[in-house]
Structure 1
Amino acid sequence: MGNVIDLGSPDNILTEKIIKCAIQVHKNLGPGLLESIYEECMCIELEKFGLKCERQKNFPINYDGKILKNNLKIDLLVEDKIILELKSVEKINPVYEAQLLTYLKLTNLSLGLLMNFNVNLMKNGLKRIVNKYQISADSLNSAPPR
């Protein structure tokens, strides 16, 4: 039963709105454009739904206790909780899924959507990625005694 998805959960409702926005953008523009165009149009559609959308969001990277000079930059962050990684490529390769999962791990966010706009039907360009490695606030605060 651990794999049952609650379709009425806030994340799933938000995901549904995001997907509707992607379908609308794809319907209006079609495939074959630059990712940056889809990114800008996605923000316009998301804002129509009253959703907060941040483009090219920077996240600091902590490596071995040091903050790196270079930040992680994600395409879109919706409502401070869902990463959208946009593509306009011939096909989604496993490396794109791994990239999004790495982004989720580094930001400690739980959900991301990989969206390839270079498809005939947008539903064929969508992939939901869940961060199974998310660290809860409880586990951060309950380090084992030394």
Structure 2
Amino acid sequence: MQADIMLKDECYQIIGACMAVHRELGCGFLEAVYQEALEAEFQLRSIPYVREKSLEITYKGQVLSKQYIADFVCHNSIIVELKALSEISSVHKSQLINYLKVTKLKLGLLVNFGQSSLQSKRVVNNF
């Protein structure tokens, strides 16, 4: 029996919107272009989101003045981090893991528009 996948339907919706943007624009634009186009696609598909949401970071119980700005938080529970790079690396995945840890959110999607085919990685906060 296959284990349930956390927020499976919500991730499917988000990745579908990302695929539509990539299909329309292709690769080669700056991240900000994909972010704006993805916001329009989220609106078309009625996917709940907050763009450039400020998220608090705490250190030993103290809220730091520096905040993390998520590209998107969708469905109030999924960080969507966009990239427009020739390749995403383990450093980008590590950043997303840290964002999940400090925000206490459970799931993140790392999406790269910088190649001829869309890349996405699902990152689960196990901490």
Q: What TM-score do you get using the length of structure 1 for normalisation?
A: 0.82
Give 1:83's aligned amino acid. Answer: I
- Whole-angstrom CA distance in 1 between matches of 2:117 and 2:29: 15
Matching residue of 2:68: 72
Matching residue of 2:120: 126
Matching residue of 2:100: 104
Matches within 5 A, 1:1-146: 4-6=2-4, 11-122=7-118, 125-133=119-127
Larger radius of gyration: 1
- Whole-angstrom CA distance in 1 between matches of 2:62 and 2:100: 19
- Whole-angstrom CA distance in 1 between matches of 2:3 and 2:9: 12
- Whole-angstrom CA distance in 1 between matches of 2:120 and 2:3: 17
Q: Which has the higher contact order (CA 8 A, sep 6+)?
A: 2
The structure carrying a bigger strand percent of its residues is 2
Summarize deviations over 1:58-97 as a string: whole Å, max 9, x none: 0111112221111111111111111111000110110000
- Whole-angstrom CA distance in 2 between matches of 1:129 and 1:66: 26
> CA RMSD for the aligned pairs?
1.4
Q: CA deviation at 1:119?
A: 1.1
Structure 1 SS opposite 2:86: coil
Give 2:86's aligned amino acid. Answer: E
Q: What TM-score do you get using the length of structure 2 for normalisation?
A: 0.93
- Whole-angstrom CA distance in 1 between matches of 2:117 and 2:86: 13
Give 1:6's aligned amino acid. Answer: D
- Whole-angstrom CA distance in 2 between matches of 1:60 and 1:16: 27
Q: CA deviation at 1:5?
A: 3.7
Gaps of 5+ in 1: 134-146
Structure 2 SS opposite 1:76: strand
The answer to which of 95-104 and 66-75 deviates more is 66-75
